Amino acid sequence: MSSAPAARSGSDRADRPAEGAEAPGHAAEAVRSAPADRPGSAEIVHIVGARPNFVKAAPVVAALEARGLRQSVVHTGQHYDDRMSAVFFRELGLPRPDVDLGVGSGSHAEQTAALMTGLEREFIERSPGLVVVYGDVNSTLAAGMVAAKLHIPVAHVEAGLRSFDWSMPEEVNRRLTDQLADVCFATSPEAVGHLAAEGVAVDRVHLVGNPMIDTLLARLDRFDTAALRERLDLPGSYVAATLHRPANVDDPETVARLVARLHEVADQIDVVMPVHPRGRASLDAAGLAEHPRMHLLEPLGYIDFVALVRGATAVVTDSGGVQEETTMLGVPCLTLRPNTERPITITHGSNRLVTDSELPGLVSKILAGAGTDTAALAAVPPMWDGGAGERIATVLADWTSGVPAPGPRRSA
């Protein structure tokens, strides 16, 4: 895996106009005609749109800033209000976005189309030397498609994760983005294997570790559970819950069943649940709040949310990022999904995939001290050491300086 990946030529991407189609405008043609591997002064543009992106981008942006590289942050506005967006920039030390496209919500097609339109305009104006995308949200795929068609190199942070569940929009996004990317930054060894199996060239892949863990480790002393309990009037012991995926919150029958199971958990221990905007209406309609030991909160900022997780007896979630955070914090995690794109959280952590029918019984076991065998857990996953941002920045710095690729299996 090289340290200075070369951008693929136009022949590698199906970006030529269809026969009979109009030629692109002069501005777009100027971007396409520019060399894709310009060293030195080329601007690195980071694309973020949702709260998981912000957590992953923060250590990369900081490491590049320390190297004095020219960069900018484009916020697509996929998560657009203070609770889901601006508070994360403040708490993570991210620079104020140079651009906020303000795309907002909508169907997948509507949102992706709006993202592509806004990003194309932005890339043509900026003519960046490299676009860095994060995770698997719609902003990630939209930026990858637009950049690829404009012959702008793409780097994908958190490449190679796979759930093998095509019903998940995130699975579609991450697979397509990896095919478009010129450089793939993998967080775990199995992600490298997935990329190899899909034909991604070895010189495009770097095993760098997990930048989300960088962010967590750098702020450990700020996750004050006791202060959070006092400020929000929370119980001394609780299960933290968070649900937002379509498979769990879109179908009324599924939602009703999940709410009943959460109430069974609340019969045993208080449940504290920041309610994601995406599922609020369906959860409210199913009577989520109609239990005296359910504590429903507005979405929390990063510091408060991880403090909540850190102090929990267990966590019930369908979030990928929470599976990683609980692995690092050693908190039992019950993931309400049939699969996970982060199996390393099961092999190296206390995460477990569960069905809703299993949930109350497993919480009972955890309360009895028999839910997870934490003593048998391996050390933290490889390269989850707080250095992922630095390793990514080293590769990107080599890119801008034109350093030849030594071809290591891991980025140092």
How far apart CA 213 and CA 221 sit, in angstroms, is: 14
Q: How far apart are CA 326 and CA 315, in angstroms?
A: 8
Q: What angle in degrees, to the nearest 10, is found between the helix axes of 108-126 and 138-149? A: 40
pLDDT given at position 404:
45
CB 1 within 8 A of CB 395: no
For the CA atoms of the chain, what is the radius of gyration?
22
Say what the pLDDT of residue 56 is. Answer: 96
Could you give all domains of the chain from N- to C-terminal order, each with its CATH number? 10-209+387-401 (3.40.50.2000), 225-376 (3.40.50.2000)
Q: Would you tell me the crossing angle of helices 320-329 and 51-66 to the nearest 10 degrees?
A: 60
Q: Which of 129, 65, 70, 67 is nearest to 94 (CA)?
A: 65
pLDDT at 71: 95
List of residues 6+ apart from 365 with CB closer than 8 A: 371
List, as one string, the DSSP characters of 352-403: EE--GGGHHHHHHHHHTT-S--GGG--SSPTT-SS-HHHHHHHHHHHHHHTP
- What pTM did the predictor assign? 0.85
- At 258, the amino acid letter reads L
Which of the residues are catalytic? 244
- Return the pLDDT at 105: 65
Q: In what order do the strands lie in the sheet with 294-297?
A: 294-297, 271-274, 239-242, 314-317, 333-335, 351-353
- The reported pLDDT for the residue numbered 378 is 53
CA dihedral sign of residues 108, 114, 118, 123: positive
Beta carbons within 8 Å of 355's beta carbon, 6+ residues apart:
336, 338
DSSP 8-state secondary structure symbol assigned to residue 330: T
Q: For the CA atoms of 344, 349, 355, 356, what is the dihedral angle to 10 degrees? A: -140
Whole-angstrom distance, CA of residue 107 vs CA of residue 278: 12
Given a contact cutoff of 8 angstroms between Cβ atoms, the answer to whether 6 and 37 are in contact is yes
**Contact present, 208 and 185 (Cβ < 8 Å):** yes
* Angstrom distance (rounded) from CA 283 to CA 318: 15
Give phi and psi for 92, each to the nearest 5. -95, -5
pLDDT in tens, the chain (412 residues): 444 444 454 434 433 333 333 333 333 333 333 334 444 458 999 999 888 899 999 999 999 999 999 999 999 985 545 554 577 778 888 877 877 887 666 677 888 998 999 999 999 999 999 999 999 999 999 999 999 999 999 999 999 999 999 999 999 999 999 999 999 999 999 999 999 999 999 999 999 999 999 999 999 999 999 999 999 999 999 999 999 999 999 999 999 999 999 999 999 999 999 998 878 999 999 999 999 999 999 999 999 999 999 999 999 999 999 999 999 999 999 999 999 999 999 988 889 999 999 999 999 999 998 755 554 455 689 899 999 999 999 999 987 777 544 333 345 4
What secondary structure does DSSP assign to 13-79, as a single string?
S--SPPTTPPPPPHHHHHHHHS-TT--SSPPEEEEE-SHHHHHHHHHHHHHHHHTT--EEEEE--SS
